Homo-oligomer: A and B are copies of this chain.
């Protein structure tokens, strides 16, 4: 009721409210410990009472949704600013290198594993980028054309993030918050083979692809 009055009274940035502080704390904790952290833990980290958290967001789910939309919005901002031809991994690395935005990356990765709505938006965004990037490469002659460009863009995106998620789950970094270090570990382990695969493929000839096209895409009656 009185919030309008209060907002006019405050001359500072409208986002440095207690509510925003709570949301940022929640993102940091979700990123660091996963979505199982309790409302109590978030409240304690923020130095307020648990009741206040629920007062602001209604429920833990409400808090989650606010975090989701905020993280997605911020990642979109970063992507607008970033150079277009950077790969998703490079973009995330650069984001994570900044202390302020590292939790955003961790949060996004957590939600990818959880598979919610943010995960979909997140992936769709990178799929769209990949499609454009691939199309430019095909036009320039540096990338081979595909029989299904959309499917390839989606596959490469899922393949990249999926490999990273599983690799990090199997080799958990000492500090879960230091995403940049985690990313370095991933690249140290997989940089060479993934580059080999992208540049040379695995097979020496087309027989496997031809078999797939013949028996799966256009099966004999």
Contacts and interface: CB of A to CB of B under 8 A. Distances in A.
B146 A115 contact: no
Q: Could you tell me the dominant secondary structure of chain A's interface residues?
A: helix
Contacts of A172: 115
Contacts of A198: 197, 201-203, 208-209
Interface stretch (A10-18, A47-55, A186-194): A186-194
Contacts of A161: 166
Contact of A197 (B114, B164, B167, B201): B201
Interface residues of A, number: 55
B120 A204 contact: no
A130 to B, nearest CB: 11
A205 interface: yes
Contact of A200 (B112, B119, B201): B201
Contact of A203 (B143, B191, B207): B143
A204 B199 CA distance: 7
A155 interface: yes
A209 B199 contact: yes
Contact of A163 (B120, B159, B207): B159
Interface of A: 112-115, 119-120, 123, 141-144, 146-148, 151-152, 154-156, 158-159, 161-167, 169-170, 172, 189-209, 212, 216-217
